[in-house]
Amino acid sequence: MKRIFIVCIFWVSLMFSGCTNDNNKDNAKDVGSDVTVLSDGGEDITDISDNGITMLTEWDPTLPSTANLSRVRDYKVARSIIHAHCIYSHDGCDGHSIENGNPEEDCVLQLRDTICKLNMDAVFMTDHAGSLADEEDFSKLYYPREGDSVIEENGKQTGNLVKCQNGAKPIIMVGSENDIMP
C-alpha cells in the first residue's frame, strides 16, 4: 500500500511539474481575441500581417533527405512521384509553360527546384501523349541542365540525374499515358 501511495505521488508531481505559473503572463503576446501565445522572452514568435492573419511559424517547403532513413530488409527507402505532369501539360505552370513553342525557362527551373527541395529520389513524368507529341527532341523532356548526368540504356536516354544545389540527386524519367495503361 505504501508503494502504491509513493507511485501515485510521483505521477501527480510529474503532472503538475509541467504546469505554468503566473510569471509567464509577462511574456504573453495577444495575437487575437481567443488566442494567447507565450514567448520565451526571445524573438517574437508571431507575425501579424495587414490582413489580420496570424502566422505562428514559418512553413518550410523542404523535406529531409531519404539518405537519413534506415533501410528496410536491406532496401533503401526512396521518395518518388509516380505520375507527375510535365510543363508541356495543360496544367503545367498554370498554362504558361510554353512560349513560342519552347519551354518557359522559369517554369523548368521552378519544376527542377521543387524536385530538389523535396529531396525526391525519382520522378516519373508520365504525361498525356498529346502534351508530349509536339516536342521533336525527346531529350528535352528530361529538362537537362549543366551538371546533370544523362542515364542511357542501349544507346538511348532513359533518365536524367539532376544535380541539385542541396546535394540531392533525383532521377527524372519520362513516359506518356496512352490507351494501353490500366
Domain boundaries defined on the chain: 66-177
pLDDT of residue 160: 94
pLDDT of residue 79: 93
pTM of the complete model: 0.62
State CA 130 to chain mean position distance: 28
pLDDT of residue 61: 81
**Joined grid coordinates for residue 159:** 533518365
**Joined grid coordinates for residue 114:** 521543387
pLDDT of residue 100: 80
What one-letter code names the amino acid at 14?
L
C-beta of residue 141 within 8 angstroms of C-beta of residue 124: no
Between CA 24 and CA 32 the distance in angstroms is: 18
Where the chain has pLDDT below 50, the residues are 5-40, 42-45
Between CA 145 and CA 116 the distance in angstroms is: 13
CA distances from 27 to 22, 45, 68, 75, 128 (A): 10, 11, 37, 49, 56
